[in-house]
Amino acid sequence: MNIVIRVDASIFIGNGHVMRCLTLADKLKENGSNVIFICRKFEGNLINKIRANGFDVLELKHDFYHKVIKTETDLLWLGVTQKEDAKQCERLIKDIKVDWLIVDHYGINEDWHKILKHTYSKLMVIDDLSNRVHQCDLLLDQTFGRKKNDYEELVPKFCELLVGANYALLRPEFAYWRKYSLDRRQKKFSFKKLFVNMGGVDPHNYTEKVLLALENCNLPIKLEVVVVMGGTSPHLDKVLAIANTFPYKIKIQVDPDNIAEIMANSDLAIGASGSTSLERSCLGLPTIQLVTAQNQELTARLLDENNLIKLISKVDELPNLFFQPVNWAETLSHRSSKITNGAGVVNVLSRIQ
């Protein structure tokens, strides 16, 4: 099969959409499909990473990106109007027999789908907002707690809906490290390693805020803090500077290729409420979580209401959580590990035929 994936990464968009599409693309390639990406060359794009993973990328220019009016949602996400983006994509794939077009983009809805309808056999949409109409054959929303009726009025009746964390597009390494991670958490909780990851880009520099707050927390003197950041983060230098004077042992890791292993060997996490929350859950890594973007609010609220994370609204709340021993971590680990087992990409793959 020929499969085309339309997805972007940028300082504004973040890395999550591309990373989950790469997970799906890897599995599709393993099963004999030819996968091509279409990406706009925004600042903070991951085009080189996609190519390094063995996929061709058809590039869209980003001439208009820095001129947009921020109230115009499609321009903010796409850099151009939906119509222009669709026409640009049409020119790129006009000579390709596209069996499946996969779209993972908040700036795209049925208007874009209709323009390109003649270029593909089937359309798959990856979404987690449930806030716009799609004309697709298959829709995936891996949000924890998502219900099919959230999309009843947003997709055609023939559309197959894959909703919930059982379809989470986690990289195979998380399933691989799951047993090890859960087994080591059967022992009495020992707080030796703290994992901090506020997203791949972290445009609002939550990482620095968290580290500064930790300096005022009652933490074990021998604690090791492991911070993971993306290489495209605009605040990487600031975080590296803080590490030089940080009162605890600290490691800053940039785009590590063994993040599941790092998480599996960590005892507690402080993290953003994006797709990484499902990765932490798969490994039973107890988490103090913050909402760093509007699209994270539903997941964070549901996880908190089900006692699966410790949700805080601002980093200033961290000292209160560490004022007493974190004996709540064991409960969070056990409960959160039941959300997903890491096999979601296999469940999704069986529907793309």
- Per residue in 223-268, pLDDT (tens digit) is 999 999 999 999 999 999 999 999 999 999 999 999 999 999 999 9
Identify whether 243 is part of a domain: yes
Range with the poorest average pLDDT among 64-68, 268-272, 330-334, 342-346: 64-68
Identify whether 189 is part of a domain: yes
Cα dist from 131 to 44, 164, 343, whole Å = 26, 16, 27
Name the band, by pLDDT with cuts 50, 70 and 90, for residue 198. Answer: very high
Question: Same domain, yes or no, for 48 and 136?
Answer: yes
Q: Is the pLDDT of residue 318 over 90?
A: yes
Identify whether 348 is part of a domain: no
Question: Same domain, yes or no, for 188 and 153?
Answer: no
Name the band, by pLDDT with cuts 50, 70 and 90, for residue 68. Answer: very low
Return d(Cα 85, Cα 107) in angstroms, integer: 10
Q: Is the pLDDT of residue 70 over 50?
A: no
Return d(Cα 112, Cα 85) in angstroms, integer: 8
Identify whether 351 is part of a domain: no
> Which token pair is 320?
């209160």
**Residue with more model confidence, 325 or 42:** 42
Instruction: List pLDDT tens digits, range 136-176.
Output: 999 999 999 899 999 999 999 999 999 999 999 999 999 99
Pick the last residue of a domain from 110, 144, 163: 163
Residue 42 structural domain: 2-163
pLDDT of residue 324: 78
Instruction: List pLDDT tens digits, range 321-330.
Output: 988 778 899 9
Identify whether 101 is part of a domain: yes
Question: Same domain, yes or no, for 98 and 218?
Answer: no
pLDDT of residue 323: 83
Looking up residue 186, the CATH number of its domain turns out to be 3.40.50.2000
Question: Same domain, yes or no, for 179 and 142?
Answer: no
How many domains is the chain built from? 2
pLDDT of residue 74: 58
Q: What's the residue count for the chain?
A: 353
Question: Same domain, yes or no, for 176 and 292?
Answer: yes
Question: Same domain, yes or no, for 147 and 246?
Answer: no
Pick the last residue of a domain from 163, 181, 211: 163
| CB burial string 323-340: b at 16+ within 10 A, e below | eeebeebbebbebbbebb
pLDDT of residue 71: 45
pLDDT of residue 298: 83
pLDDT of residue 326: 85
pLDDT over 90, % of the chain: 85
Question: Same domain, yes or no, for 252 and 137?
Answer: no
Question: Same domain, yes or no, for 187 and 311?
Answer: yes
pLDDT of residue 73: 56
Instruction: List pLDDT tens digits, range 79-130.
Output: 899 999 999 999 999 999 999 999 999 999 999 999 999 999 999 999 999 9
Question: Same domain, yes or no, for 146 and 176?
Answer: no
Question: Same domain, yes or no, for 159 and 176?
Answer: no
How confident is the model over 44-63, as a mean pLDDT?
94
| Mean model confidence pLDDT for the chain | 93
Pick the last residue of a domain from 123, 142, 163: 163
> Which token pair is 120?
């593909």
Cα dist from 70 to 12, 59, 62, 122, 133, whole Å = 11, 23, 15, 32, 22
> Which token pair is 308?
């699966």
Looking up residue 23, the CATH number of its domain turns out to be 3.40.50.11190
**Residue with more model confidence, 318 or 63:** 318
Question: Same domain, yes or no, for 177 and 309?
Answer: yes
Question: Same domain, yes or no, for 178 and 308?
Answer: yes
Identify whether 55 is part of a domain: yes
